[in-house]
Amino acid sequence: MTREEAIRFIDEVLKGVWVNWTPTDMQCETWVYVLKTFDYENARQAIRNWSILQEKLWKEPNIAKVKGVLMAAKLKAEGKGANSPVHLYTIVKESRLGKSHLVNMPNGKQVKVSDEAGERFFVGTPAQVPDEYEIERRAECNRKSMTSITGENYVVKYSEIKGKV
């Protein structure tokens, strides 16, 4: 969403569901930041469909919960399951970057396989995907842990989800 679309989303969609909610300027800025990675129409439909199923709504929209609803709808629109694990990043030994080896297949052919498998980190569902700063914080913490445990240097390879949250 553009900034203008995000403001329209707040005014028309969020205030349409939470009619007694009057966001502060800071809340609006936070919502604009969160909404920028979502498509306006897809997000509008997701909130409409989700709100219909709710027996009771909170006093005001909860950013984390609404973001989870929107992320699940976004991934579903991209053909990914709403309850599928989401890959965030991989920690790889620096010495293995760019390296590969040949594997003999049962049919006699050889296949080139990357040695960059590393340790992969996921969250359970799209609703649990943190913002990109939290992904970076967790990745760096895990990279440092791997380095201190093994004594080898590791690097972080982010999945494509990082730039989309």
DSSP string, 141-160: HHHHHHHHHHSS-EEEEE-G
Distance, CA of 47 to CA of 40 (rounded, Å): 11
Per residue of the chain (165 residues), give pLDDT as tens: 999 999 999 999 999 999 999 999 999 999 999 999 899 999 999 999 888 888 777 889 988 888 888 888 887 777 665 566 667 777 888 877 766 666 677 777 776 665 555 666 666 666 677 777 788 888 888 889 888 888 888 888 877 654 444
62: number of Cβ within 10 Å:
13
Q: Whole-model pTM?
A: 0.53
Backbone angles phi, psi at 62, to 5 degrees: -90, 115
Cα distances from 9 to residues 40, 74, 114, 118, 163, in angstroms, run 7, 16, 44, 40, 21
CA–CA dist 65, 127 (Å, integer): 7
